[in-house]
Amino acid sequence: MKVQVECHLGFHGEDEPVKFFLGRQLVRIMDIQDRWFSTDHQYFMVLDELGDMYILRRDFHLENWEMTMFDSGRAAVCQFNPLSREPEGLGLSPKC
């Protein structure tokens, strides 16, 4: 999904995303968790104000940005008890 990203110069003088738009919704970046390069792209794993995680990808040749991953961190969590072989949801049904 293409996104419009606003950057500022970071600690090492490189562009770092500080906010982006999902349609009309403004997403403020609170923390850059990780960053890495590929041959044609630069990636940023970022957190917003709610703790939601995004991976943003910058294309060096086309000079555009895309959101390649989103995780709200609010998915159901299940644990497996090896003695009972039944999932133990945290307040959830056993169908986790």
On whether residue 56 sits in a domain, the answer given is: yes
Q: What is the pTM of this model?
A: 0.74
Is residue 92 situated within a structural domain? no
In a domain, 52, yes or no: yes
Residue 92 scores a pLDDT above 50: no
Residue 19, domain extent? 2-71
Q: Is residue 28 part of a domain?
A: yes
Cα gap 2→29, rounded to integer Å:
17
Tally of domains within the chain: 1
In a domain, 7, yes or no: yes
Q: How confident is the model at residue 80 (pLDDT cuts 50, 70, 90)?
A: low
> Is residue 95 a part of any domain in this protein?
no
* pLDDT number for residue 24: 92
20 lies in some domain = yes
Mean pLDDT score, 17-37: 95
Contacts of residue 9, defined as CB under 8 A and 6 or more positions apart, other chains included, come to: 15, 16
In this predicted model, what pLDDT tens digit does every residue of 44-66 receive, in sequence order? 999 999 999 999 999 999 989 99
Domain-located, residue 79: no
